[in-house]
Amino acid sequence: MHSLGQEIQGFSRNRLKKQCTHVTTVTGRRLLERRRGDGGVEVEEVAEPSGCGFVEDASLDLQVGVVRPFLLLASQDAAHDIDTLQRYKVSHVLNVAFGVTNLFSDQLVYKTLQILDLPDTDITSYVEECSTFIDRAREQDGVVLVHCNAGVSRSSSVVIGYLMLREGLPFDAAYSQVKQARPSIRPNPGFYQQLQSYKPRGSGNATPEHVRGLDSD
């Protein structure tokens, strides 16, 4: 009859059940750690399991929403595609993304505001400054492309705010018109609530220059 000590000595590491540990790093990478028989650890990166999470869409989003003849809404993909910019006769670009570069500064007029797409960001505090840039471009018979990263939340909120401030539209009408131009828009919940409550000072009271611009269309 074997003693406990003999059994322990005769037990092979290979008979141990292989242990795997799934690790998700702070940057979102998923790693699989496997312990080898010699005590070492192997690490490999694993893809998201099918049916879980989301599948990244690597295709370019070049859809441009024409909100007004002088006011366009799109993603950074369109803002970085010179053929798209030329097709829509873009002369000015309003970049409200965070960390997105302006590629054609020698050909276009840019304004950059690095806005975070967070519900507690005060998006309405940027509307007046953005609207001034849009107005100046329009006075020069230019066409403004407003973009963020995806053209979904920040840029759409700025354009909605512009229509409310400069044209005096109520939120529902402004949102509907921007949604019609670019169906993929979806301001984050904080931006949505802020715009619903937005009461721009002097909305609908255009400056003389702005009125002349309207008459020239």
Of the listed 20, 52, 130, 148, which one is catalytic? 148
70 touches 140 (CB < 8 A):
no
Q: Is 148 a catalytic residue?
A: yes
pLDDT, mean over the chain: 81
Q: What is the mean pLDDT of residues 157-173?
A: 97
Q: Please report, for residues 127, 134, 208, 214, the alpha-carbon distance to residue 205 in angstroms, rounded to integers and kept in the order given.
A: 16, 16, 9, 13
What is the reported pLDDT for 150? 93
Kindly write down the DSSP assignment for every residue of 22-72, as one continuous string: EEE-TTS-EEEEEE-TTS-EEEEE-PPPTTSS-----S-----EEEETTEE
Q: What is the mean pLDDT of residues 147-174?
A: 96
What is the reported pLDDT for 78? 96
Answer yes or no: is pLDDT of 18 > 50.
Answer: yes
- Roughly what angle, to the nearest 10 degrees, separates helices 171-181 and 189-196? 130
119 touches 62 (CB < 8 A):
no
What is the reported pLDDT for 91? 97
This prediction's pTM: 0.68
Q: Which residues contact 140 (CB under 8 A, 6 or more apart)?
A: 91
Eight-state DSSP code of residue 110: E
Structure confidence at residue 41 as a pLDDT band (50, 70, 90): low
Helix (H, G, I), strand (E, B) or coil at 160: helix
Domains (range + CATH), the chain: 17-49 (no CATH), 65-216 (3.90.190.10)
What is the reported pLDDT for 216? 34
- Roughly what angle, to the nearest 10 degrees, separates helices 189-196 and 154-167? 10
Q: Rounded to an integer, what distance in angstroms lies between the CA atom of residue 167 and that of residue 148?
A: 23
> Which of 184, 206, 213 lies closest to 73 in space, CA to CA?
184
> Which of 84, 40, 52 lies closest to 66 in space, CA to CA?
84
Type of residue numbered 154 = R
